[in-house]
């Protein structure tokens, strides 16, 4: 490395398993030994790297090595620039044509800022809930992934604890046959709204044309209003 690089930049430095911890620890050790400068961003301070991880004690000497060789600066400005970007966009997309789909993908690309989705596992009272597309507080779901499952309020609350920006694709028109799925969707939107999270969504019709099951028509009007507010550029 030293032959080609004097400075190496890591974005979103994180450790999720002991194998990665040991590899990265030894790699950083070599960088420090060979006077290669490291600039990195991370959502946690060095003391909290791989916190709670299996066999973390083996990684602790490397944490001390990191602390001995780097200066730590907090860049927590209180602003999430992804959300500031979203607040300037209309975030409900009617995906009937390629151009609208392209516009949606452009917003997704801008928010991801080069990051790649991976799976995220949440444990809820002994149950495992898998988010297929997650990175750095951004989660992307198909409607079926969220509302065709037997999820309740507790599940949605736990998802919201780790998610700041939701992408929900393919919201359907609701019918009496989809009343259970509609009820879950109403519940989910309420939780997203109450937690002041960001939402980007797609459907085949505008919000005011989404249909409801007969039984939930009245309560669904509030959901539509909240959905409109959550995806408005004025939020």
Does residue 76 lie in a domain region? no
Same domain, yes or no: 65 and 94: no
- Cβ proximity of 28 and 60 under 8 Å: no
CATH number of the structural domain spanning residue 153? 3.40.50
Does residue 209 lie in a domain region? yes
Which of 19, 48, 69 marks a domain boundary? Answer: 69
Same domain, yes or no: 165 and 210: yes
CA gap 51, 54 in Å, rounded: 9
- Structure tokens, 30: 């070599």
Does residue 74 lie in a domain region? no
Q: Residue 53 sits in which domain range? A: 7-69
* Domain total in the chain: 2
CA gap 233, 83 in Å, rounded: 11
Same domain, yes or no: 111 and 146: yes
Does residue 2 lie in a domain region? no
Give tens-digit pLDDT for 112-148. Answer: 888 899 999 998 888 899 999 999 999 999 999 999 9
Same domain, yes or no: 57 and 97: no
Give tens-digit pLDDT for 146-205. Answer: 999 999 999 999 999 999 999 999 999 999 999 999 999 999 999 999 999 999 999 999
What's this model's pTM, rounded to 2 decimal places?
0.65
pLDDT of residue 73: 77
**How far from the centroid of its chain's Cα atoms is residue 169's Cα?**
14
Sign of the C-alpha dihedral, residues 113, 115, 119, 125? negative
Same domain, yes or no: 117 and 174: yes
Same domain, yes or no: 142 and 188: yes
């Amino acid at each position: 490395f030293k032959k080609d690089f004097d400075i190496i930049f890591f974005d979103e430095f994180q450790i999720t398993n002991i194998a990665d911890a040991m590899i990265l620890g030894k790699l950083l050790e070599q960088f420090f030994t060979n006077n290669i400068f490291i600039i990195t961003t991370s959502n946690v301070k060095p003391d909290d790297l791989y916190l709670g991880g299996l066999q973390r004690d083996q990684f602790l000497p490397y944490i001390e090595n990191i602390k001995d060789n780097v200066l730590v600066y907090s860049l927590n400005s209180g602003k999430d620039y992804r959300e500031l970007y979203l607040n300037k966009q209309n975030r409900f997309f009617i995906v009937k044509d390629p151009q609208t789909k392209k516009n949606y993908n452009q917003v997704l690309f801008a928010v991801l800022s080069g990051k790649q989705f991976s799976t995220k596992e949440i444990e809820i009272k002994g149950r495992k809930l898998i988010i297929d597309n997650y990175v750095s507080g951004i989660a992307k779901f198909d409607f079926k992934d969220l509302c065709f499952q037997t999820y309740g309020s507790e599940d949605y609350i736990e998802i919201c604890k780790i998610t700041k920006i939701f992408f929900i694709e393919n919201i359907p028109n609701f019918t009496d046959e989809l009343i259970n799925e509609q009820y879950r969707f109403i519940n989910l939107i309420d939780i997203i709204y109450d937690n002041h999270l960001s939402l980007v969504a797609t459907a085949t019709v505008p919000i005011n044309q989404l249909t409801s099951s007969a039984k939930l028509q009245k309560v669904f009007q509030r959901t539509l209003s909240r959905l409109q507010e959550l995806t408005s550029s004025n939020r």
